[in-house]
Amino acid sequence: MAREVEKLLYSRRDAARALSLSVRSIDYLICAGRIPTRRVGGKILIHVTDVRRFAKTDHPGFVRVPPRSSEPASNNRKTA
């Protein structure tokens, strides 16, 4: 019987799957310094503990929310 070996390093794609994010979001987080990486040859790899650490913390600034209008929505309607 073959045993599964736990991955210690994730590719950008694997990290994106594990975090339910896009690869582009992972690239953004790497460039912003929020997820550290390691290079092995030409590959960019992310240690499993860094993926888990990112998943365990809150990231309120990561999601961009459109600014709210100062007027209530009901006042924005035009009447004839």
Rounded to 5 degrees, what angle do the CA atoms 41, 47, 52 make? 155
**How many percent of the chain have pLDDT more than 90?**
59
Whole-structure pTM value:
0.68
Contact in structure between 23 and 13 (CB atoms under 8 Å): yes
In this prediction, residue 75 carries a pLDDT of 53
Dig out the tokens for 35 from the structure.
């997820």
pLDDT digit string (tens) for 56-65? 987 766 555 5
What are the structural domains, with CATH classification, of the chain? 1-57 (1.10.1660)
Write down the residue that tokens 């992310």 correspond to: 46
Average pLDDT over residues 19-29: 94
- For residue 1, which amino acid is it? M
Which residue, among 11, 32, 34, has the nearest Cα to 23 in the 3D structure? Answer: 11
